[in-house]
Chains A and B, each alone.
Chain A
């Protein structure tokens, strides 16, 4: 099973997330791999989550390549940066997409470059 599938399977089991107690909406992930599209649909109703393999319309659609989806599932992707550089394409409610992004894990100590130029 891919990391992506494992990630969605875990969400299916979790079922409930208190961080989303005020969130309602639906998000569909369209994951593209060589012409194939794998679709996962996430329905959130006041923190209750339901995960299905479905192509039904959703308020927010997130399109990514299979490669990026795997990286997201591994916690290697900064969602906002990836949206800004066109790697993640969001149609619909971007605020909801960013909230959903918090479901993805995040590696704590990502690689740092040493660079004397700092700050704003």
Chain B
């Protein structure tokens, strides 16, 4: 897997290795390359030389996410390569790193080779790398044994260790290991290198050992990926590009599955490489919503872990409140010593309503009433949080203002960078803030919560209360956020209730939530599909003409595939099939320029000007909700929806695709197929 220019990644859930194209790692304090597990870098150097020369890759096979093979020869790339000696490094990521190294002598002479592997471990926390913080307060230690090199880091009771060993005799030293290899012409030599990563308790037991015991044997990994792909519906289309993005997205979702410490072995999606390889409330909920027709098995464990870690107390560092669904969970040193608040951090205002939205949507697809009963208490607590803890100004909206002034997030909506919420003229509003899409989620959560209460929990009074609250929110929202002269909804309300008047993609989510009166929808759609927001590839996060617009601004002008997939879903909800199809066409076409893998975001430049999507420099990839975007866009093109006990199909295809069929869509109906074909008169 290649994304950060020239790098190759190998992934298994929240364990991953990012190296250069030859397989080497030479990390600097601020670049996210190396071997990582549990938010910690266990190898910061892993560099192979043969007779003192580094290796140059001739080719890389990374067709399996957990395995990558490098074919390399000694010498720098610029030199003429006299490839008498060549090497294959086959790397696999599981709980540990294993690398099979084979060296060939295709020359005509006997060779004596000094094969050297340089090894170092800085045990950097992912946040030290992100913020380029160099100094660690614990102690590093090194033990050189006859058969292993043990590198460790200790700070009070916190201890992390990596043990490097090889299947062939090697000479170990503090900086690595070396092999003296003699090869006759035509001969080859192999060794199996291993790096075991340990998160040790003071008694020497790995704190993840119970979890690891539940993990199936590594040899089953290829079969489990095949089973994952085989369990998903089959996409049948003449579009090679769409086939590629579907297959890639499916495999990437498999790659990002990981088993968190507290979930008894079940897997949930990590948010994305390299910065977000952990559980995020919002990302995992939205990913599950996107993928319900394709990979519904992601949803129950996601709801369960978020439910089990739901807030129960008030804590100003973690920004925890009773009923609040978490934002981010980390296991690194900064979380362990509470220098970052991620154990877990609750600073999000959308995860709680989205928890209820997903629970309802999942039941509508699956008919799994048992889960709705199991999570009743959690869903009620999440709904209660909206009214009891999020309405900071007693005006009936979901507001946010961080309580953790040291390390909390300024913006606790999906656009969580510091400058993402601004007026059209560039001014930043004060706090608290209430962003528009969050009100839509809260409205939807109440409507859906009412259905759950009435249908399953046998609580009609609660259902009626939620419905009347939702109706009041609908009226209030349409009065306070609507900018009549502009014809769209304000991005947010400032602390004093002043509408933040900029034009943003957030208004698209309102269609998805259903909080827009039908008579206003056309005006909203006109803006979404107009030149200020729609780039030709997709809807920009922030419209051209706003003071802070920048086509490479993280939340201020780039195009996010996930964002667009929800906008397309909303457009279909309001009957704008052609517009949804335009978005699907744009985003899925963009994917073909990224080898089928939609990145977190790409540049907001106009499609007619650049003709290909411009890579956003630090975009994460693979990214769970970008992989999920493909699934949701297929759903919107097919117009598939659970309708009582059957699957309704109402296609709206863009003209690029002649035919799309999704076969064996799982749900309460068993398995059903959905077909869409371009009508001849529309081609």
Residue B642 lies at the interface, judged by CB distance under 8 Å to chain A? no
Residue B210 lies at the interface, judged by CB distance under 8 Å to chain A? yes
Contacting residues, chain B, for A84 (C-beta < 8 A)? 158, 199, 207, 331, 335-336, 343
Contact of B308 among A81, A98, A107 (CB under 8 A): A98
A120 to chain B, nearest CB (A): 6
Residue in B closest to A95 when the chains form the complex, CB atoms: B262
Give the interface centre of A21, A106, A112, A114 by most chain B CB atoms within 10 Å: A112
| Distance in angstroms between the alpha carbons of A92 and B312 in the assembled complex | 23
Given A81-B338, A86-B200, A112-B316: A119 touches B207 (CB 8 Å cut-off): no
| Distance in angstroms between the alpha carbons of A70 and B316 in the assembled complex | 22
B446 to chain A, nearest CB (A): 23
- A59-96 residues at the B interface, CB under 8 angstroms: 63, 78, 80-81, 83-87, 89-95
Judging by beta carbons under 8 Å apart, are B317 and A110 in contact?
Answer: yes
| Chain A: interface size category | 35 or more
Judging by beta carbons under 8 Å apart, are B158 and A89 in contact?
Answer: no
Judging by beta carbons under 8 Å apart, are A78 and B207 in contact?
Answer: no
Given A85-B158, A99-B308: A120 touches B336 (CB 8 Å cut-off): no
Which of the segments B4-12, B102-110, B400-408 contacts the partner chain? B400-408
Residue in B closest to A77 when the chains form the complex, CB atoms: B338
Contacting residues, chain B, for A91 (C-beta < 8 A)? 205, 210
B 207-246 to A, binary, CB cutoff 8 A, 1 in contact else 0: 1001100000000000000000000000000000000000
Give the interface centre of A80, A85, A91, A108 by most chain B CB atoms within 10 Å: A85
Residue B315 lies at the interface, judged by CB distance under 8 Å to chain A? yes
Closest 3 CB pairs of A and B: A85-B336, A86-B157, A81-B343
A-B pair count, CB < 8 Å, reads 113
Chain A interfacial positions (CB closer than 8 Å to B): 19, 21-22, 63, 78, 80-81, 83-87, 89-95, 98-99, 102, 106-110, 112-115, 117-120
Contacting residues, chain B, for A92 (C-beta < 8 A)? 210
B 403-443 to A, binary, CB cutoff 8 A, 1 in contact else 0: 01111111000001110000000000000000000000000
Contacting residues, chain B, for A86 (C-beta < 8 A)? 156-159, 200-202, 207
Given A78-B338, A117-B407: A89 touches B262 (CB 8 Å cut-off): no
| Distance in angstroms between the alpha carbons of A94 and B416 in the assembled complex | 31
Contact of A85 among B337, B405, B408 (CB under 8 A): B337
Residue B643 lies at the interface, judged by CB distance under 8 Å to chain A? no
Given A81-B335, A89-B201: A110 touches B316 (CB 8 Å cut-off): yes
Residue in A closest to B409 when the chains form the complex, CB atoms: A119
B283 to chain A, nearest CB (A): 11
Contacting residues, chain A, for B344 (C-beta < 8 A)? 80
User: In the complex, given contacts A89-B207, A95-B263, what are 16 additional A-B residue pairs having Cβ atoms less than 8 angstroms apart?
Assistant: A63-B203, A80-B343, A84-B199, A85-B155, A85-B333, A86-B159, A86-B201, A86-B207, A89-B201, A90-B207, A91-B210, A94-B262, A108-B313, A108-B314, A117-B131, A119-B409
Residue B474 lies at the interface, judged by CB distance under 8 Å to chain A? no
Contacting residues, chain B, for A113 (C-beta < 8 A)? 406-407
Contacting residues, chain B, for A89 (C-beta < 8 A)? 201-203, 205, 207
14 residue pairs from A and B, CB less than 8 Å apart: A21-B377, A22-B377, A63-B203, A80-B329, A81-B343, A84-B207, A86-B207, A89-B201, A95-B308, A112-B405, A117-B407, A118-B408, A118-B410, A120-B409
Contact of A78 among B205, B318, B416 (CB under 8 A): B318
